[in-house]
């Protein structure tokens, strides 16, 4: 976030004190409470248990006492009045809510360079640790964590500031994975009936929220301004994500996954994501402080920030709806089955995207198969993408729908799609043949520049395009659509740019192809095709 003074000035507008901005440079722990701990209607004030809220003293021992007291009484709310509470790990308990008042900041303290104090150690997840990234294998090394709990919540308009958390990058070694470091703001494992509502997260570590095996999960009205993933929803059932804003330039914004971290393949299913804003275009902290400062054009930032299903994909994704969401200055929609997942029955409807940096739509069925040996290759089928607008997309990547030989993506419907891109594609690009890269990490860049300006469709069975328009800013020599190894492709009411010199369709090993009702393209029904269809 720049110099300490600049960092402080940015955060002053959020009501943080000078002690909060400097962080916990020494490790002074909260003393015994000066007044007897008391409750009022099940409310447990952390200051009554010895928390100081001065931004320097380590308040986690006092806060954990308040949590324990609420749990021992059968449940209650642990309240954080206005102040800055420097802390290491907080251990949630069943039937306990944390409530951050307006002006309250829970500050992830920086780990001292010497001594033994710090966050709870990362627990072992053997023998499953090789099947997903380090951060997905551990939960205890977090600012707030809970395991095997029920009926818990974190609420209130306050702030969680993960200043002292590791992002898990290799460049942070040797501290990133030491026993004393924490790398997540909130981590939950095998919990049920969880509510996360109304608070903000700044600089959330590797994950602002990691929920693994959490059922009946509500995430509502959060603002997350962070330097890696906003929220990862892994192996969870019955999830509602709504009204959230996530600025995550260096990694994904909202990311459902289905890893093998629980020791078995468990699907993420029955999920709705609605009324959310994801972006990767703003400097860290400037969404929260209201300055909305964009990165300089030459900044080395990936602008990731998207909604993505995968890459961890052992269990599957089933019964999912994403609706009324806005993407801004980030990557586009991504649906990925790489490790044996059954990705099926998914709907995206009412999506607006602007300044997308890679493929606006990326559907990938691959065979990385990072998991126990013997697992079957997954599926990607029954997906509906409807009422989608994308403006000013980078042109190197078109929309990509790609399986691998012998494993087709199936039953895809695209309706009412408008894709605008910057244009300028060349005849040399039109002649490209993207590599299969069957086992490679899935991301649009895995194929390099693309030979189509609209859609590249490969190893697909039964796909339908209705009311789809491709537009560009500059003339583009690439065809609108390239289809390869496709069985059953229907196109109705297709529009392509008038300024193009390229073909409408390039068909390679395509069977049962039909196009009709499309401006400037003759109706055609072709049983088997290896040809180019021009306007």
Of 268, 269, 261, 267, nearest in space to 372 by CA: 261
**Calpha distance 444→362 (Å, rounded):** 7
Let me know: does 141 contact 121? Beta carbons within 8 Å. yes
**Calpha distance 451→428 (Å, rounded):** 8
Let me know: does 170 contact 116? Beta carbons within 8 Å. no
**Does residue 31 belong to any structural domain of this protein?**
no
Let me know: does 204 contact 184? Beta carbons within 8 Å. yes
**Calpha distance 372→374 (Å, rounded):** 6
Interstrand relation of 150-155 and 399-402 (parallel, antiparallel or unpaired): unpaired
**Calpha distance 189→191 (Å, rounded):** 6
**Does residue 348 belong to any structural domain of this protein?**
yes
Q: What is the C-alpha R_g of the chain? A: 25
Of 330, 234, 230, nearest in space to 280 by CA: 330
Interstrand relation of 104-108 and 159-161 (parallel, antiparallel or unpaired): parallel
**Does residue 229 belong to any structural domain of this protein?**
yes
pLDDT values of the chain reduced to their tens digit, one per residue, 535 residues: 444 334 434 444 444 543 444 444 456 666 655 455 666 779 999 999 999 999 999 999 999 999 999 999 999 999 999 999 999 999 999 999 999 999 999 999 999 877 788 999 999 999 999 999 989 999 999 999 999 999 999 999 999 999 999 987 765 554 455 678 999 999 999 999 999 999 999 999 999 999 999 999 999 999 999 999 999 999 999 999 999 999 999 999 999 999 999 999 999 999 999 999 999 999 999 999 999 999 998 999 999 999 999 999 999 999 999 999 999 999 999 999 999 999 999 999 999 999 999 999 999 999 999 999 999 999 999 999 999 999 999 989 999 999 999 999 999 999 999 999 999 999 999 999 999 999 999 999 999 999 999 999 999 999 999 999 999 999 999 999 999 999 999 999 999 998 777 799 999 999 999 999 998 899 999 999 898 888 7
**Does residue 468 belong to any structural domain of this protein?**
yes
Range of the domain at 74: 43-533
**Does residue 21 belong to any structural domain of this protein?**
no
**Calpha distance 70→74 (Å, rounded):** 7
Give percent above pLDDT 70 in the chain.
Answer: 90
Give the residues across from 511 on adjacent strands.
487, 528
CATH assignment at residue 64: 2.160.20.10
Give the list of residues 6+ apart from residue 118 with CB closer than 8 angstroms, or none. 88, 111, 112, 179, 180, 181, 182
**Does residue 68 belong to any structural domain of this protein?**
yes
Return the pLDDT at 33.
Answer: 53
**Does residue 9 belong to any structural domain of this protein?**
no
Of 208, 216, 199, nearest in space to 152 by CA: 216
Could you write out the DSSP letters of every residue in 250-277?
TS-SEEEEB-STTSS---EEEEEEES-E
**Does residue 16 belong to any structural domain of this protein?**
no
Helix ranges (DSSP H) in 273-416: none
Number of domains in the chain: 1
Interstrand relation of 237-242 and 268-274 (parallel, antiparallel or unpaired): parallel
């Amino acid at each position: 976030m720049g110099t300490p003074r600049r960092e402080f000035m940015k955060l002053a507008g959020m009501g943080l004190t000078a002690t909060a901005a400097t962080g916990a440079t020494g490790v002074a722990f909260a003393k015994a409470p000066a007044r007897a701990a008391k409750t009022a209607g099940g409310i447990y004030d952390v200051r009554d248990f010895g928390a100081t809220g001065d931004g320097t003293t380590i308040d986690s021992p006092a806060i954990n006492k308040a949590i324990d007291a609420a749990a021992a009484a059968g449940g209650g709310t642990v309240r954080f009045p206005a102040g800055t509470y420097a802390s290491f790990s907080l251990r949630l308990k069943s039937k306990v809510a944390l409530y951050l008042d307006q002006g309250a900041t829970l500050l992830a303290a920086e780990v001292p360079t010497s001594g033994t104090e710090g966050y709870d150690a990362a627990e072992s997840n053997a023998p499953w640790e090789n099947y997903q990234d380090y951060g997905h294998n551990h939960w205890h090394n977090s600012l707030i964590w809970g395991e095997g709990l029920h009926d818990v919540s974190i609420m209130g308009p306050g702030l969680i500031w993960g200043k002292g958390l590791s992002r898990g990058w290799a460049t942070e070694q040797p501290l990133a994975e030491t026993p004393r470091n924490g790398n997540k703001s909130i981590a939950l494992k095998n919990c049920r009936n969880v509510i996360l509502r109304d608070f903000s997260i700044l600089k959330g570590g590797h994950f602002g929220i990691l929920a693994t095996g959490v059922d009946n999960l509500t995430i509502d009205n959060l603002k997350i301004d962070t330097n890696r993933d906003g929220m990862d929803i892994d192996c969870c059932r019955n999830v509602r994500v709504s009204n959230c804003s996530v600025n995550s330039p260096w990694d994904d914004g909202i990311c459902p996954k289905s890893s093998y971290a629980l020791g078995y393949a468990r699907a993420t299913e029955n999920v709705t994501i609605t009324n959310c804003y994801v972006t990767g275009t703003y400097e860290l902290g400037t969404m929260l402080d209201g300055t909305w400062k964009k990165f300089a054009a030459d900044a080395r930032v990936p602008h990731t920030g998207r909604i993505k299903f995968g890459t961890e994909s052992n269990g599957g994704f089933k019964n999912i709806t994403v609706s009324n969401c806005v993407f801004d200055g980030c990557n586009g929609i991504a649906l990925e089955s790489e490790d044996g997942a059954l990705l099926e029955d998914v709907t995206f409807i009412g999506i607006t995207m602007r300044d997308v940096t890679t493929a606006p739509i990326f559907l990938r069925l691959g065979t990385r198969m990072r998991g126990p040996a013997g697992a079957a290759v997954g599926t990607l089928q029954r997906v509906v993408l409807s009422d989608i607008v994308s403006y000013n997309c980078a042109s190197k990547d078109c929309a990509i729908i790609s399986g691998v030989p012998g494993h087709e993506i199936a039953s895809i419907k695209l309706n009412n799609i408008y894709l605008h891109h910057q244009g300028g594609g060349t005849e040399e690009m039109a002649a490209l043949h993207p590599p299969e890269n069957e086992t490679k990490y899935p991301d649009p860049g895995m194929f390099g520049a693309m030979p189509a300006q609209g859609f590249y469709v490969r190893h697909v069975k039964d796909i339908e395009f209705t009311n789809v328009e491709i537009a560009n800013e500059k003339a583009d020599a690439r065809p609108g659509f390239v289809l390869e190894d496709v069985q059953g492709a229907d196109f109705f009411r297709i529009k392509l740019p008038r300024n193009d010199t390229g073909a409408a369709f390039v068909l390679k090993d395509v069977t049962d192809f039909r196009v009709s009702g499309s401006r400037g393209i003759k109706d055609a029904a072709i049983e088997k095709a290896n040809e180019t269809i021009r306007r």
